[in-house]
Amino acid sequence: METHPAKIPVFERGLWCRGWFVALLCAVFVEVDWEMVPLAVFPFVFVFPVMLAAWNRSLRFALACAFLLSLSRVAQQSLFAARPATIDDVSATLVRFFVLALLAMLTYRLGQQARQLRHRVRQLEGILPVCTGCKSIRDREGNWLPLEGYITTHSPAQVSNSFCPDCFKDYFGEVIPARSADSK
C-alpha cells in the first residue's frame, strides 16, 4: 500500500530523515550553543537534532548524537579556552547526556507508535468491495478473496469460525437438541 506524501508529516520526508543532514544540524547547533554559552545553562538547541534523529533514524543514532552533543561544551572549553575540565563540567555533561538520552528514548518510542498507528489507519480506512452473495472481497488487483483470507493477509487479526445462535438453529434445527451454540 502506497502512502500519499501529503499524509506523511513534513519532518519524515526529504532531508529531515537523512542521517547526514541530522549530523550537519548537530554541528550547526554546536556552533549556536558555543555562541550562547554565557546565556544558556542547558543547551536547549540540542533538543531539536536529538529528537529529529530519534524520530526518523534509530535510537542508537539518536543516543550517539546526544552523547556527542553533550560532550561538545567540555571539548570546546578544553580546546579553545585551554582550561582543563572540572568535576562540575563533567557532572553537567552527564546531566545533559541523561536528559537528552531520555528525550531521545521517549521521542523514538513516540515515533514508532505514530508510524504503527498510521499504518493501522491505512489498513482500516477505505471502502471494501464485498460480494453480496459469498462475502468475498475484491483487492486492488481485481481478484476476489475469501473474507477470512483477506482479513488475515491485510491485518494482524486471526479469524475463527463459529455459529451464532440463529445460524445454529437454521443449520442444525431439529437434528441436534436445542442447546446454545456457545455452550460447547
pLDDT digits (tens, 9 = 90+) for 137-158: 888 788 888 888 888 887 788 8
Which of 55, 177, 45 has the alpha carbon at shortest distance from 118? 55
Q: Of 42 and 22, which is predicted with more confidence?
A: 22
* Count of domains observed in the chain: 2
In the predicted model, is pLDDT for residue 28 greater than 90?
A: no
Q: Of 84 and 146, which is predicted with more confidence?
A: 146
Whether residues 33 and 113 share a domain: the answer is yes
**Can you name the residues that pair with 137 across neighbouring β-strands?**
130, 145
Whether residues 139 and 174 share a domain: the answer is yes
Domain region containing 29: 5-124
CB atoms within 10 A of CB 56: 22
Show the beta-strand stretches assigned E in 9-145: 137-138, 144-145
